[in-house]
Amino acid sequence: MFGSPVVRTTRFVACALVALALAGCGSGRSTYQAPVGTPGDRGPAGSDTVFSKGGLFGSSKSAPSEGAVAVNAFLWRASLDTIAFMPLTSADPFGGVIISDWYAPPETPNERFKVNVYILSRTLRADGLKVSVFRQTRDTQGAWSDATVGPEVVSEFENAVLTRARDLRLHAAPQS
């Protein structure tokens, strides 16, 4: 009725890319404040080894200090910008986890998507990001059932986040 799964997936990716493009066209004002700190900053040399103070079995810090960045700030902001069109269920900047709620594109109301983003690194690297995309379709009785999502959707979503993070980093670099 609404096209093949490939067409629906392509529409979803197109919507995500349009949302990313629109996010880049903002007025420069944002309600989100990026975490304080330098992305990738891990403190003094040797402070995060197993043999340093606090080492393997204990730490001198019981919780992240106020304003500390547990994940890469550019990846965090880019992830939020990329899924801005979807409702969020939770966002944990210290754990690096963003979970969206189900989103049904207006053009395909019998199909919905959910995205989980995991930021795994404090550095801006491609392997510091993992995205999971879930898709469900509604049958004639109105019940939702899981449907497959092609691996290209996840790759395109990750690439959109990484491209946005790269742009944010370039704009944050001090101008000489």
Beta strands in the chain (DSSP E): 88-92, 97-100, 111-119, 129-138, 144-147
Distance CA 45, CA 170 (A): 26
Question: Does 60 reside within a domain?
Answer: no
**Residue stretches of the chain with pLDDT short of 50:** 20-22, 26-65
The pLDDT value recorded for residue 16 is 58
What's the structural domain count of the chain?
1
The pLDDT value recorded for residue 172 is 85
The pLDDT value recorded for residue 70 is 77
Question: Does 168 reside within a domain?
Answer: yes
Question: Does 135 reside within a domain?
Answer: yes
The pLDDT value recorded for residue 141 is 93
What is the model's pTM? 0.61
Residue 74 lies in domain: 5-24+69-172
Question: Does 40 reside within a domain?
Answer: no
The CATH number covering residue 113 comes to 3.30.530
